[in-house]
Amino acid sequence: MAGPDEREILLGRPTPVVDAYSPELLYPIPRAPARRDLGLGEPLPFVGVDVWYAYELSWLDPTGKPVARVGRFTVPASSPNMVESKSFKLYLNSLNNTRLEGDDAASEVIRRDVGAVVGTPVGLALFGPDDPGLGGVSPHGVCLDPLPVTVPEGEPRPELLALAGNGIVEEELYSHLLRSLCPVTGQPDWATVWVHYRGRPVDRSALLGYILAFRRHQAFHEQCVERIYHDIRERCQPEYLAVQALYTRRGGLDISPLRSSDATAEPLPRLNRQ
């Protein structure tokens, strides 16, 4: 499919309320162009998943009574397309006045529609609004944010990263200071970024400076995570690497892409700030 087309993409444009089921609203963003820009080919150097939480998920039961749910979507990183966030929100809103037989029927319809757009089957777990499983957690590991750092000029680049010695360590590091810009609207997106690696020790101040270099970088969430993964892998050459960015909620949706060198890596659950 073609890449984002300003004549078609809904992001950044006024849109009327859609009051009827409209799967055609879902808009695909191909993954391949950004991966080519990073020099990534097949096979990809990572596996992973994009985890979406939809907090404004609702439809009608057979009697016409509204049902409220929170949906946890999992989209494989191997899918040819991402789903654009505003189109996702509008599509989910289009279900608000649609009668469905129950959670299983709703899940089947939504998974079918989203899977058709991203190009592969997707997962969907439905939660009641009071489900304790929706509680937030704190990230694992050491927070980088108190470290002294000089905010670099320009775009993020691998040369900003450095090693801090020899030997092999395994550690989990995170920062709440990841800020990137939407490539369509230019508006800021905020996230906690978490890095778990095994290998020669990474210079923590350099890693924090590299993360801060994304402040004016325009890319979709999934693309930012893949760039971070790629640059750490190329520059620091760890034996094992996992990177996840847990973005804060916008429009009733949050997204937390995970990329890892190990297919058994599990994404972190939603954080307190989400």
List, by residue number, the catalytic residues. 182, 189
In the block, tokens 């905010």 appear at 151
> φ and ψ at 129, to 5 degrees?
-60, -25
In whole angstroms, give the CA distance from residue 186 to residue 226. Answer: 20
In whole angstroms, give the CA distance from residue 16 to residue 102. Answer: 28
In whole angstroms, give the CA distance from residue 273 to residue 252. Answer: 14
In the block, tokens 């808009």 appear at 27
Q: Interior CA angle at 234 toward 229 and 235, to 5°? A: 105
Burial 42-65 (b: 16+ CB within 10 A, else e): eeeebbbbbbbbbbbbbbeeeeee
In whole angstroms, give the CA distance from residue 154 to residue 268. Answer: 30
Is residue 216 within 8 Å of 267, Cβ to Cβ? no
Q: Which tokens hold the place of 30?
A: 């191909």
Q: Mark residue 173 as left, alpha or beta (left: phi above 0; alpha: psi -120 to 50; beta: remaining).
A: beta
Amino acid (one-letter) located at 212: L
Q: Interior CA angle at 184 toward 183 and 190, to 5°? A: 55
The residue count for the chain: 274
